[in-house]
Amino acid sequence: MSAVGYASSPVRRRSKTRRIKPTVANVVLLAIAILMLLPVGWLVIQSLLGTGSALRVPPVWVPTHPTTANYRQVDQLIPFFTFLWNSVKITLIVTTGAVATSALAAYAFAKLEFPGKNLLFIVLLCAIMVPNQVTAAPTYVLMHRLGLSTSQVAVWLPGLVNVFGIFLLRQFFRGIPKELEEAGRLDGLSTMGVLFRIVLPLSKHALAALAILVGSATWNDYFWPSIYLTDRHEMTLPVGLITLYGLYHQGSPVVIFAAISMTVVPLLVVFLFAQRAMTESLTMTGFK
C-alpha cells in the first residue's frame, strides 16, 4: 500500500510482483481464516435451506433456493424479541452503572488524598482475581433472602461494581498531567468540576474500552442468568437460546440455527464496523 506513493519504479515493481504472486504462507493463513469462520458459515447457510436440503452429508454449501421458513418459525417457538430486549436492557444498565461507579471511585483513588486510601485500594485489588462463581452459593442465598432470586435485578445489581474497571480507569487517570487540573482549579473549577470538565473528556478512549469490555461480558453471560431467570419472559438471549435448544433439539435443529444466526450475524456486522475500537479495548487492558 505504502509503495503506491513512491515515484521510484523499482519499489513499485516489487510491490506489484508481491500482489501477483501471493506467498504460500499467505494462502495457508487465508485457509485457516476460512476454516475459523466455517462453523458459523455452515450454520447460517443451513438455516436458509428447506427441510429436504438442510443438514445433509455431504453438506449443501450453496443455498440455491433460500427460504425464510425457519426464521418465521423462531418467533412461534420462543419470544425471541423479548429475549433480545431483556439482553439489551440488562446490558445497558450494567454497562452505564459499572462505568459510572468505576469512574467516580477511580478518580478518588487517582487524584484525591484521603486517609485510608492505600488500604482501601489494596482491599479492592484483592478482589480482581476472585471470579464470582466462587461465591455462587452465598450470593444466591443473599438474593433468595432479599426475595430477588427469580428477578432480573439479581442479574444486574452485582454487576454495577466492577473492580477491574476501577483499576483500569485509575491507571488511566493517573496518566493525566497535574498541570491540567491545576489550570482548571485556577479557572475556579471544583473537585467535581475537574472530573467532569477535564478528566472524563480526556479519558473517552478508556471509558469506551471499559464499556465494550463490560458490555460484551454482560451480553454473553450465561452463568447468573441461567440461575435466576426461570420465567421465559425474563430470560436473556443466551439463556433463552439454550431453553429453545433444550425443548426442540430433537425435532428442528434448523430453527435453532435460524435463532443463532439472528444473534451472530448482527454481531459480525457490528464487528466489521467497530473492529478497531473493539479489539483495541481488549488489548489495551494488558498494557497499563
Contacting another protein within 107-146 (CB under 8 A): 107-109, 112-115, 117, 120, 123-124, 127, 129-142, 144
Stretch that binds another protein, among 4-12, 37-45, 68-76, 78-86 (CB under 8 A): 37-45
- Minimal distance in Å, beta carbon 155 to another protein? 12
Supply the angle between the helices 237-248 and 253-284 in degrees, to the nearest 10: 150
Q: Cα 233 from chain centroid?
A: 23
Position 226, amino acid: S
Q: Is 40 in the site for another protein (CB under 8 A)?
A: yes
Q: How far is CA 131 from CA 146, 160, 223, in A?
A: 22, 15, 12
Q: Work out whether 88 is an interface residue with another protein (CB under 8 A).
A: no
Please tell me whether residue 74 binds another protein under the rule CB under 8 A: no
Judged by CB under 8 A, the number of residues near another protein is: 93
Going by C-alpha positions, the residue among 214, 123, 217, 118 that lies closest to residue 169 is 214
Select the residue interacting with another protein from 88, 192, 247, 269 (CB under 8 A).
Answer: 192
CB atoms within 10 A of CB 178: 8
Which residue of 24, 25, 62, 119 would you call a contact of another protein, by CB under 8 A? 25
Q: Provide, rounded to whole angstroms, the least separation between the CB of residue 259 and another protein.
A: 9
Residues 159 and 143 sit within 8 Å (Cβ to Cβ): no
How many CA atoms are closer than 13 Å to the CA of 18, on its beta-carbon side? 11
User: Do residues 156 and 90 lie in contact, with contact meaning Cβ atoms separated by under 8 Å?
Assistant: yes
Q: Does 229 bind another protein (CB under 8 A)?
A: no
Rounded CA gap, 113 and 121, in Å? 12
Interacting span for another protein (CB under 8 A) from 72-80, 88-96, 203-211, 272-280? 272-280
Nearer CB in complex with another protein: 7/36: 36
Residue 190 identity = S
The region of 5-13, 40-48, 170-178, 197-205 touching another protein under the rule CB under 8 A is 40-48
Binders of another protein in range 152-171 (CB under 8 A) = 157-158, 160-161, 163, 166
Instruction: Tell which one of 39, 52, 188, 201 touches another protein (CB under 8 A).
Output: 39
Pick from 29, 88, 92, 183 the residue near another protein by CB under 8 A.
Answer: 29
Q: Cβ 275 to another protein, closest distance in Å?
A: 6
Residue 58: alpha-carbon gap to chain centroid: 35
Alpha helices in 80-188 (DSSP H): 80-111, 117-126, 136-145, 152-156, 163-174, 178-186
Q: Which residues contact 285 (CB under 8 A, 6 or more apart)?
A: 164, 168, 209, 213
How many residues are recorded in the chain? 288
Per rule CB under 8 A, is residue 5 in the interface with another protein? no
**Which residue lies nearer to another protein by CB, 42 or 85?**
42
